[in-house]
């Protein structure tokens, strides 16, 4: 395992995981909630503009668990970029001899016997998940997929070389 800091949340970032943003947006659309702040919008205008770090790390409660916050995912010739102030949270854990990298809300995960292989597997899975949701013909997918697609479109940009 990588060396971890003894201080919990030492590198805590106030970026918001994209799955949380989409969940909140669904609640707003259904009238179940009202916005009380524009945190990620204001962050867009201030600190995020100068934030060029592609990754932040949050240390979890267990030394075998920590979290990365990604501004973008690059795998092969594809890059998926998240709007400023929004990240993709990737939890990394080590159990049963396997490294597991996963986003808890989308459920996308990757695994491997090394940290690097788990991380690559996660990126592969996320890009595959994203391309399926975004690119399948509209008539062949369910209504929930169309909703997720519209939400992802608002908060992400897709580039292919």
Partner 1 sequence: MNEIDRKTIRKSIKKKGFILKESSNTDHEVYRLTHNGKLIPQIRVKISRGSNYKTYPQSLWCTMRALLGLDSNQEVAALLNCPLSKEEYFTILKSKNIL
The contacts found for 33-41 with CB under 8 angstroms, 24 or more apart, are: 39/14, 39/85, 40/15, 40/16, 40/83, 40/84, 40/85, 40/86, 41/85
DSSP state of 144: H
Q: What is d(CA 154, CA 151) in angstroms, rounded to the nearest whole number? A: 5
Q: How many residues form the binding site for partner 1 (CB under 8 A)? A: 29
**Is residue 144 near partner 1 by the rule CB under 8 A?**
yes
Between the CA of residue 54 and those of 30, 36, 73, 87, what are the distances in Å?
33, 28, 9, 10
For partner 1, the closer of residues 51 and 65 by Cβ is 65
For partner 1, the closer of residues 77 and 96 by Cβ is 96
- Shortest Å, Cβ 84 to partner 1: 25
**Is residue 141 near partner 1 by the rule CB under 8 A?**
yes
x/- letters, 77..116, toward partner 1 (CB under 8 A): ----------------x-xx-x-x-xxxxxxxx-x-x---
**Is residue 4 near partner 1 by the rule CB under 8 A?**
no
- Shortest Å, Cβ 94 to partner 1: 9
Q: What is d(CA 13, CA 66) in angstroms, rounded to the nearest whole number? A: 13
How does strand 109-112 pair with strand 98-102? antiparallel
Chosen residue from 25, 74, 133, 158 binding partner 1 by CB under 8 A: 133
Catalog residues that contact partner 1 under the rule CB under 8 A.
Answer: 93, 95-96, 98, 100, 102-109, 111, 113, 121, 124-125, 128-129, 132-133, 136, 140-142, 144-145, 148
């Amino acid at each position: 395992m990588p060396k971890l800091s003894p201080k919990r949340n030492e590198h805590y970032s106030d970026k918001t995981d994209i799955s949380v943003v989409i969940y909140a947006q669904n609640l707003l659309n259904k009238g179940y909630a009202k916005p009380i702040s524009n945190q990620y919008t204001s962050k867009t205008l201030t600190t995020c503009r100068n934030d060029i770090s592609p990754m932040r790390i949050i240390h979890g409660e267990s030394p075998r668990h920590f979290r990365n916050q990604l501004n973008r995912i690059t795998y092969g010739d594809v890059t998926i970029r998240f709007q400023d102030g929004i990240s993709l949270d990737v939890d990394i854990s080590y159990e049963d001899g396997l490294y597991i990298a996963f986003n808890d809300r989308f459920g996308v995960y990757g695994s491997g016997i090394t940290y690097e292989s788990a991380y690559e597997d996660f990126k592969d899975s996320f890009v595959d998940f994203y391309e399926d949701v975004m690119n399948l013909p509209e008539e062949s997918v369910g209504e929930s997929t169309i909703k997720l697609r519209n939400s992802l479109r608002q908060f992400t940009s897709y580039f292919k070389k």
